[in-house]
Structure 1
Amino acid sequence: MRARVADADGQVRTAAADYAAALADTPGNEVVAAPAYRAALAAGDLALADRAAAALRRSATPPVDLALLPLAEAARRDDAAAADAAITDLDKGTLGILAPALRGWTAFARGSDFTRALDAASTTRDPLATRLALEQRAVLQLAAGATATGLATLRATLAAGAPGDVRIEAAMVLLGTGRRDAGRALLIGDDAVIVALRDGAGAKPTLGFGVSRLLSRVAADLTSARAGDLAIALSRTALIADPANDRARLLLANALARDGATDGALAALAAIPTDSAFARAAADARIAVLAEGGRDAEAIAAAKARVETPDAGRDDFQVYGDQLVSSRRYAEGAGYYRRVLDAGAQGNWAAWLQYGGALDEAGDWAAARPALEKAVALAPTEPLALNYLGYAMAERGGDIAAATKLLERAHALKPADLSIVDSLGWAYYLGGDEARALPLIERAARGDPANAEIGEHLGDVYWAIGRRYEARYAWRAAALTAAAIDAPRLAGKIVRGLPAR
């Protein structure tokens, strides 16, 4: 029971320790082993993971990812035979889509023909299995020394939508096998990770390297889709296969943070060395994890420390500005968004929009308006910029006709966006056209019933056309999800209604 409570609270290390004690008392108990296995992977307790896995292998319905653990352990030892045995088990479930690509790596490790294993993907008739096999074909061709052929295959995979992880994997193989010019040519851009990798040593194409990168490549897709347990299992076993895979540590931290395990996520990030190519990304992730975990003061302190370093730059100003704004310190945030602009983002409409939005929230409409107009000038067909400027102009009592035209343009560009639908309806209302306003705001409220702002707008329109009971109902509904700062205003409307217009 203590383990379950700790697990629910995101305390992965405490949960793992308590599950280990429970499993020691009842070896082979599947009811204990199943959550123990998950907690062990989250906490990195591999001894507990092995004990729990041994119990679960006797189950009639073992977890689909159970074979990942022996696969990763075999790959780390460069044991192709043991890895093949694990892949056979993996192939029995939904993760069988990984089997052809994985068998390509075990064939390479044995010095045999990896193309035959990869070709098996076509017989599965699964598009994801085929895609993963094609991506690994490119990397394996490069690993085998076929530079021209491998690069051609890589170009085909990238054209088909392969993620950047595949490009990085290929570049690391080239760098690690002495083909530095070809490897560096794949690492294009000024992202901190890319720059650091370009000057790095790369990696040897071992079985552990290949299995680890494939698992983390799939984990990246699942992490962004909030896949929970499976994302944690894939990223953790990627680390077991190759402890040098700091990209997997980032993915593990992300998955743990999304699961509420803030301390576990921070521990994963802390294990990334300061000289790693991913050190800068880890520092950014640490700030995000702290903020997501409700530890706002620590997040702001970490971001502030970054901007106070001698080499602080645009990305640091952006992160600190974001943290300040999320804490409602809008004027301070606007100052750092201004530094982002001055550090080279003058042509970036989104940077102007953030700057103007922060000024607007800080109550400085006079300075906010030209910044927002600059965003629209840079991106005249961007619905987000049009919507913000139009809505703000309408709210601030400016030219309602001009504001409405901006919002009509935004709506024409993105008619399904409920925020824009509400904004346009609200502009019609402020302009005195309740008949055009009502169907738009009703549509927005039906599509997003938990949005307090839209609910309040709906109540205001109902009141204006004499539907007083429905107005109070809409305001009461809005009050259920409104921010605390808005509660007194809504309470006043529920009691007194609106003054005559």
Structure 2
Amino acid sequence: MSAYLRARVAEDSGQGTEAVAAYTRALADAPANPVVAIRAYREGLAAGDAALVRHAATALAAAGVAPDDAALWPLVDAARANDPAAVERALPALDNGRLRILLPALRAWIAAARGQDGLAIEAPKDDAVARRLVNETRALLLIGAGRLPEGIAATQALGGTIPSGAQLAAAELLIGGGHDEAAATLLGRRPGQLAAARADATARPTLAFGVSRLLLRLADDLGGDRPSSLGLSFARAALDADPGYARARLILAEQLALADDPDRALAQLALVPADGPLGATAAGRRINLLDAQDRAADALAAARIRAEAGDAVAVDRARYADLLVAADRPADAIPFYAALTKDADASKNWATWLRYGAALDQAGQWKDARRVLRRAVDLGPQEPSALNYLGYAMIEHGEDLPDATRMLERAHALAADDASIADSLGWAYHRIGQTPRGLPLLERAAADAPANAEIAEHLGDAYWSLGRRYEARYAWAAAAVTAEPPATARLATKQESGL
């Protein structure tokens, strides 16, 4: 119990090494306790402690309460050793839970490893997922056997607008065999996908290759914006089966980040070779994770390195510029946004010009900002955010109020539920002397975004101009709750003296 409590405290405090050591001791002291075993199992998975994971999985199986994913570890150990007999011995444990969908595809890989016809393996006709996995496996086996036209055709038949894990695996085999052009065609010449395939290229599809790609394909399916214990297990197992699998490390880092384990996610990203094909991808994800963890200085420093690197691309410069603006350094961001407007692809994107114009505006360069923001609207005439920014900025600068108001009316028509746009239009009506017309918009915006200090201040100003003094002071007081300097001082003066 003492070791278990120490483990729980260390786990809750983010002390991963201490937690693993304490869970290892607790499991040795209480090998039959399923509560200890399941906590030890999950901590071992997050930490990547293979011994703790396997010890805890054995204890859970002995207690009859093992989760489905506990059956993965004998499988991946056998695959890593390229031992088809051991892989086959691991299959029965998969046959009584959610992972039975893997069985037909695994049998195909076992047959191929033994020199038999893995292409003859069939999936149950009533199991669409297992059948899909078998079809993907057949495509890889065809390419691995040198039957490129058939394998490529089978891979293309899988469909999808974005390359799937199976299509990436096929490209890995093609690049490993020296067929780079075929791989590029298969992946639609997407640079990021090609980099991922190049990082893990191999000419020979071993059991480790087959099992790792199969499991990571399922981890991909379980991705998204919510944590998944099974997704984490699949990603960890894929990496265990093939420890050099760089894309598995990226997906594992994503799963750890979703599980609110940023330090371990960052540690995984640090293990992706910086000078390899996926180095820039790993660096970008590290920057995003640091920013999400409110480590703005670290994120900014890492983003600068990427933005100034010799192989920097548009997304690197955009990321750094965005972080500079978020750090209240819009003037420093301007050169990076300007460089984006000379990029062949980024220059055609209205959002590039909008962000550039916003930085110029915030840096006090309104004349240049207006020209750039006009370009954003020209490129995105139906984009409410572009219309809103330019229209509201013109209102604030007192320029061509009728045209600005018309622009905001178009933005509101396109995004009637957007509180910020409703506020902009309501404020425009107030500024052109039509406050009664603008008041319902401001009231609705304030109701939809009660924490927005600027909207609440606008509402207070409108109330005051209509002689509704008590309501005005109430709105200003509400704005003061979330406002930041210098708005707080301005709101205090308004509450005391009015307009």
User: What's the TM-score bracket when you normalise by the shorter of the two chains?
Assistant: 0.7 to 0.9
- 2:214 is equivalent to residue 214 of structure 1: yes
Equivalent pairs counted in the alignment come to: 494
Measure, in 1, the Cα distance between the counterparts of 2:453 and 2:198.
Answer: 48
Whole-angstrom distance in 1 between the partners of 2:38 and 2:199: 43
Larger mean CA deviation between 408-417 and 380-389 belongs to 408-417
Write out aligned runs for 1:80-479 (5 A). Answer: 80-84=84-88, 86-114=90-118, 117=121, 119-120=123-124, 122-124=125-127, 131-158=132-159, 160-161=160-161, 163-189=163-189, 191=191, 194=194, 197=197, 201-344=201-344, 345-461=346-462
Structure 1 residues 206 and 331, CA gap change in structure 2 (3 angstroms): same
Q: Distance in 1 between matches of 2:88 and 2:470?
A: 69
Q: CA–CA distance in 1 between the matches of 2:102 and 2:445?
A: 43
Amino acid at match of 1:246: A
Paired with 2:166 and 2:407, the residues of 1 have a C-alpha distance of: 42
Unmatched runs of 5 consecutive residues or more in structure 1: none
- C-alpha distance after superposition, 1:382-427 (max 9, x if no partner): 2332232223323333333322322332333344444434443443
TM-score, normalising length: structure 1: 0.85
Contact in 2 for aligned 1:257/1:293 (Cα 8 Å): no
Residue 8 of structure 1, aligned match among 9, 12, 16: 12
Change (3 A) 1:487 1:393: closer
Shift of residue 12 of structure 1?
3.2
Partner Cα distance (1:281, 1:172) in 2: 17
Q: Is the 8 A contact 2:412 2:422 kept in 1?
A: yes
Which entry has the higher C-alpha Rg, 1 or 2?
2
Whether the 8 Å contact between 1:100 and 1:119 is mirrored in structure 2 is yes
| 1:162-201: CA deviation from partner (whole Å, max 9, x where unpaired) | 5443332111122334544423433443625625855985
2:34 aligns to what?
A: 30
Deviation (angstroms), 1:376:
1.2
Q: 1:92 to 1:225 in 2, by over 3 A?
A: farther
Please give the alpha-carbon distance, in whole angstroms, between the structure 2 residues aligned to 1:493 and 1:219. Answer: 56
Unaligned runs of 5+ in 2: none
Q: Take 2:194 and 2:367, find their aligned partners in 1: how far apart are those partners? A: 40
Distance in 2 of aligned mates of 1:426 and 1:59 = 66
Distance in 1 separating the partners of 2:480 and 2:117: 66
Partner Cα separation in structure 1 for residue 22 and residue 486 of structure 2: 44
User: 1:4 and 1:435, CA in 2 relative to 1: closer, same or farther beyond 3 A?
Assistant: farther
Q: After TM superposition, which residue ranges in structure 1, 4 or more long, deviate above 6 angstroms?
A: none
Which deviations, in whole Å up to 9, do the C-alpha atoms of 1:205-248 show, x marking residues without a partner?
12221222232233234343222433322221110011121111
- Distance in 1, matches of 2:11 and 2:477, equals 36
Q: Deviations over 1:114-173 (max 9, x none)?
A: 4565532x4135xx5555444444333333444223322322323x44544333211112
Q: Which amino acid aligns with 1:336?
A: F
The amino acid that maps onto 1:384 is S
Normalised to the residue count of structure 2, the TM-score between the two structures is: 0.85
> Residue 309 of structure 1: CA displacement?
4.1
Partner of 2:371, secondary structure, is helix
Alignment partners' CA distance in 2, 1:244 and 1:461: 63
Q: Letter of the aligned partner of 2:249 in structure 1? A: R
Flag the 1:496–1:267 CA change in 2: closer, same or farther, 3 A. same
What displacement does 1:479 show? 5.1
Query: Contact 1:84–1:106 at 8 Å: present in 2 too?
Result: yes
User: What residue identity is the alignment partner of 1:148?
Assistant: P
CA contact (8 A) 2:200 2:247 kept: no
Q: What is the one-letter code of the residue matched to 1:236?
A: R
Overall identity of the aligned pairs, in %: 48
The one-letter code matched in structure 2 to 1:42 is A
If asked which structure has higher relative contact order (CA below 8 Å, sep 6+), I would say 1
How many Å separate the matches in 2 of 1:31 and 1:476?
51
Report deviation, 1:46: 0.8
2:342 partner SS: helix
Alignment of 1:480-491 (within 5 A): 482=482, 484-485=484-485, 488=488
Judge conservation of contact 2:334–2:359 (CA < 8 Å) in 1.
yes
Task: Answer with 80-89 or 168-177: which moved more.
Answer: 80-89
1: CA distance, partners of 2:130 / 2:114:
22
Deviation at 1:329, TM superposition (A): 1.5
C-alpha displacement at 1:45, in angstroms?
A: 0.8
Contact 1:107 1:114 in 2 (8 A): yes
Within 2, Cα distance between the matches of 1:116 and 1:406? 63
Measured at CA, do residues 198 and 462 of structure 1 come closer, stay the same or move farther in structure 2, by a change above 3 Å?
A: same
- Which residue does 2:79 correspond to in 1? 75
Q: 1:400 to 1:203 in 2, by over 3 A?
A: farther
The letter of the residue matching 1:186 is: L
CA-to-partner distance for each residue in 1:259-289, whole Å, 9 max, x for gaps?
3333212221222224432122122222223
Rounded Cα–Cα distance in structure 2 between residues aligned with 1:342 and 1:166: 36
**Contact persistence 1:40–1:49 (CA under 8 A):** yes
RMSD: 3.4
